[in-house]
Amino acid sequence: MRKMLTSAGLVSSALTVGMMLASPAAAATGSSQFDVVFPGQKPQTTYQVENVGAFNITKGTMTGKSVVYWRILDAQVVDGSKRFTSFKITTRIEERLTQTSEDHVVTSRTCDLTAIVNDYYSWSADGPANTCIAPSTLYDGELWWSSDSTIVYDIEGDANGPITQQLNGSPLIHG
């Protein structure tokens, strides 16, 4: 049986994420979307990821986070079995020497979302359960900064192995 989010859970999740960026900050968000087609009667699902790069003026730090949302495309759910053997997102804070030079990873964190994407058909709230935050780093205004991420997932029962989904990073922050 699938679990449903309660309104109390939505409110507490929104407050938790809101407090993370409560200090004065310059933030930039990049968004990506992709569909996953499962074997058998499992419903096709759309995944959306928002990558947020944020400069905290008060602390002088750069933070990167990725928030994953998803929804089934067909409301008629036929198969409630496990969809993924693995679903992991790696969130990175990246820097560049110039606006056009290549990115260099400064910090990163990999978060395992396998249990939550298997337990819930849809998720539209901001909260710790669907958010991956890279460790903050000191901000240098001479560099160009962004937050980026990659999802690697393995669909249960498709025999194709892991699939890597490259996602759009946040726009650059500078100055």
- For 98-126, what is each residue's pLDDT tens digit? 999 999 999 999 999 999 999 998 999 99
pLDDT computed for residue 26 by the predictor: 83
Residue 143 structure tokens: 């560099």
What single-letter DSSP state applies at residue 58? T
pLDDT band at 13 (very low <50, low <70, confident <90, very high): very low
Count Cα neighbours of 162 within 13 Å in the Cβ-side half-sphere: 12
Residue 147 structure tokens: 């937050």
State whether CATH 3.30.420 applies to domain 7-174.
no
pLDDT band at 136 (very low <50, low <70, confident <90, very high): very high
Q: How far apart are CA 50 and CA 66, in angstroms?
A: 6
pLDDT computed for residue 169 by the predictor: 94
Least confident of 2-16, 89-103, 139-153: 2-16
Place of tokens 């892991």: 162
